[in-house]
Structure 1
Amino acid sequence: MKRYLILEDGSVFAGEGFGAPLTTTGEIVFNTGMTGYQETITDQSYNGQIITFTYPLIGNYGVNRDDYESIAPTCKGVVVHELARTASNWRNQMSLDEFLKQNHIPGITGIDTRRLTRRLRSEGTMKASIVDTADEHAFDQLNALVLPRNQVQQVSTTKPYPSPDTGHNVVVIDFGLKHSILRELSQRSCNITVMPYNTTAEQILNLHPDGVMLSNGPGDPTDVPGAVEMIQGIQGKIPLFGICLGHQLFALANDAKTYKMKFGHRGFNHPVREIATGRIDFTSQNHGFAVDPHSINNEKLLVTHTEINDGTIEGLRHRQFPAFSVQFHPDATPGPHDATHLFDEFIEMMDAFKKQPVTTY
């Protein structure tokens, strides 16, 4: 079935539809990973976005039970150059086409993803639609669309839930949580309580956790002002570790500002330098916003990591409180596992904080 990908700048790309036969609209972005399409599609940080895969062949190993990053993916569409005709892998349970149909996500194949990616790199991310007819009406509907600002609310859990174990008590704030974060904490025997995005500082403190994890998530961090207030209410009282959106919210809570990037970082090969040691880690990243380096309050925050390619701030640490954050994904699913040691640093931070004299709050 012939379908079209149309962009708000007037560009039209013709291809063949697969997945759900639906019309869809969202912000179009590109991901440079060679593998990991299942983890990418199920990553809630892509909520509301149409994902372009730059690797030319997608779907060749199917979809399996182990590589979900959320139960119900919320991306708006998938764009590929070539959809594999046959999925071949011992873990394969269904094809990508079947998976997208099952989750009501449209896809389009036969697209010149190289040309499309060059367009997005030069013009920036923009609104796009996958449609049956690339006519004036389709463009009118696309241009009239206002992208939602409540993306975190759409994907966060509405009720707390536990992931029990016998180690450190960790509260995870779900802004669009990846399952791989829970896996890393579980591998370290953490007793986890996942809480909604709008949880208050008081509710967290009442649980008496050993530490708090601020998860990844979609959208603009300034659209979640309540989370900034929550962080301000708990930092200094409990060790904090922020990832991706959690990193940006941690920065906002300490007087920094964020900005929308032209086309963001989305892939699994981004080199990051740890400033103190010079160590280089290749990292998994998925973000369209970043912390403004000119807004850093040097009395509160220390920049710990930078992206080698463009100098983006990739890590922060609080100068007075036991709290740090990274823009990339140390849980690395998919991607290199260079930075998983940061979860060990979080455990060490909680242990050190426990040894300090008890204070009341």
Structure 2
Amino acid sequence: MEKVEMKRYLITSDGTVIAGYGYGSPVTGYGELVFTTSMTGYLESMTDPSYVGQILVFASPTIANYELRKGVMESDRVKVSGIVTRDAHINMPAGTLGLDFDRFLRDEGIPAIDGVDTRLLVRKIRQGGVLRAYIADDPQGHSDFPDPMSENLVARAVDARGVKNIRGKGERRILFIDLGSKKTLRDMMLEHFSLIMASADSDLDAIDKYDAIFVSNGPGDPDHPSLRPVVNFLKRNIGVKPIFGICFGLQIIALAYGSKTYKMKFGHRGSNHAVTDGNRIYVTTHNHGYAVDPDTVRDFHVRERDINDGTIEMIEDGMMMAVQYHPEASPGPHDTRWFFSEMRRRTEDAAKG
């Protein structure tokens, strides 16, 4: 494979400097350094709004070894701050996007570095926790590492602001609070409901004529001050309307119930995470760096947990249900698509009184 003969560096907050080959945009990228274990879906990952503020390390050695297909993009543009790869096929013939991987990232303004021992980097993150990092052409002069999670990342993640009605296949209307939702999630919701899409800065109390509330995935710290109006809105609606959520949405809902969240050591990102309800094991897709503190659970039941570390994966009560993973994703099986049918059933039951 042809490599771009341009040195580029990954500079991390613990003082590590890793040299590699530069491709993509010749700009400096900065963000929280995280990794995904997914072996496929590289374009879906890069365009996932939950990655805003982060540099993405692909644990799988070979990336971009199949063509770019526009239809799988999860948002209008690449959301990551940078890409780290071991063996990227940067000049792979163009797919339906009409661009090879290198040109695509250049046009998107995203810097990337190749030739990195990404598995060594993954072990480093797993042992010491997430790092903050720069991707730059010059290894010098990068001593300031501010916390990207302190920013209002949701505002950067959402493609459309305000309130918009979208007709779906279902008669029931859902108030869909968009904190940086994936296209696949919106499409799946429209298979079951009609949606009132509302960004986090909307006047949620002024919206009416809906049957349930849904809180989407998104990036950053769920306890960020910018999201308190959403948390308070949910508090006022506990027991009033059915409430549902996915990923970041679960964490926001838990905060509304009075629980707390915490930052994970290195998070869960990938398409091979096993969760269980005690009877059945589901293979699921994850993308989150925060989780609900199990010691602060109140007024809801924990139904599912992660098999490896016990992270809370599903919460519910009589009028609320939320999962930490992504049931709209396709990690191989469609084990958790039942979430949407159950959501529809609960919404119908509530509407009938």
- Pick the TM interval, shorter chain: over 0.9
Deviation at 1:200, TM superposition (A): 4.2
Secondary structure, aligned partner of 1:21? coil
Question: For residues 59-89 of structure 1, what are the alpha-carbon distances to aligned partners after superposition, in whole Å with 9 as ceiling and x for unaligned?
Answer: 1112112101110222100000011155368
CA distance in 1: counterparts of 2:264 and 2:346, whole angstroms: 32
Matched, 1:331 2:333: no
1:200-257 Cα deviation digits (max 9, x unpaired): 44223x2x11222100000111002111101112222221110011000110111111
Q: Does 1:222 align with 2:219?
A: no
Matched residue type, 2:241: I
Among candidates 13, 16, 19, match of residue 11 of structure 1: 16
What does residue range 213-292 of structure 1 map to in structure 2 within 5 Å?
A: 213-223=214-224, 224-275=227-278, 278-292=279-293
Question: Would you say the 8 A contact 2:24–2:109 is kept in 1?
Answer: yes
Letter in structure 2 aligned against 1:165: G
8 Å Cα contact 1:39-1:334 kept in structure 2: no
Partner Cα distance (1:88, 1:153) in 2: 35
Question: CA–CA distance in 1 between the matches of 2:109 and 2:212?
Answer: 37
1:84 aligns with 2:89: yes
The residue number in structure 2 matching 1:314 is 313
Q: Percent identity?
A: 38
Which residue in the other structure is 1:149 paired with? 151
- Segments of structure 2 that go 5 or more residues without pairing to the other structure are 1-5
Residue number in structure 2 paired with 1:33? 38
2:344 and 2:261 map into 1 onto residues whose CA distance is 28
- Compare 191-200 and 283-292 and name the one that shifted more: 191-200
Shift of 1:42: 0.4
Q: How many corresponding residue pairs?
A: 343
Give 2:344's match in structure 1, choosing from 339, 343, 347. Answer: 347
Aligned residues of 1:201 and 1:234 also touching (Cα < 8 A): no
Asked if the contact 2:68/2:95 (under 8 Å) is kept, the reply is: no
Structure 1 CA distance for aligned equivalents of residues 346 and 203 of structure 2: 23
Do 1:5 and 1:131's aligned partners in 2 also have CA atoms closer than 8 Å?
yes
Question: Which structure 1 residue ranges, 5 or more long, are not aligned?
Answer: 357-361
Helix, strand or coil at the partner of 1:221: coil
Superposition pairs of residues 37-186 of structure 1, within 5 angstroms: 37-87=42-92, 93-135=98-140, 137-138=141-142, 140=143, 142-143=144-145, 145-147=146-148, 148-156=150-158, 157-167=160-170, 168-186=172-190
Letter in 1 for 2:101: L
CA distance in 1, matches of 2:59, 2:74: 20
How big is the shift at 1:187? 2.1
Tell me if the contact between 1:64 and 1:94 (Cα under 8 Å) persists in the aligned partners.
no
Would the aligned equivalents of 2:176 and 2:197 in 1 still touch at CA under 8 Å? yes
Q: CA 1:335–1:66 in structure 2 vs 1: closer, same or farther (change >3 Å)?
A: farther
Partner Cα separation in structure 2 for residue 238 and residue 108 of structure 1: 47
Report the equivalent of 1:209. Answer: 210
Three-state SS of the structure 2 residue aligned to 1:51 is: strand
Classify the secondary structure of the residue corresponding to 1:266.
Answer: strand
Distance 1:296 1:183 in 2: 31
Which residue identity is paired with 2:310? Answer: G
RMSD, matched Cα: 1.6
Contact 2:198 2:204 in 1 (8 A): no
Q: Which residue of 2 aligns with 1:304?
A: 303
**How far, CA to CA, are the matches of 2:321 and 2:94 in structure 1?**
39
TM-score (norm 1): 0.91
The answer to whether the Cα contact below 8 Å between 1:284 and 1:335 also exists between their aligned partners in 2 is: no
Q: How far off is 1:185 after superposition?
A: 1.4
Residues 80-129 of structure 1 show CA distances to partners (whole Å, capped at 9, x for unaligned) of 00111553687564222122112111111000001111111111001100
Q: Would you say the 8 A contact 1:307–1:314 is kept in 2?
A: yes
Q: Distance in 2 between matches of 1:259 and 1:200?
A: 28
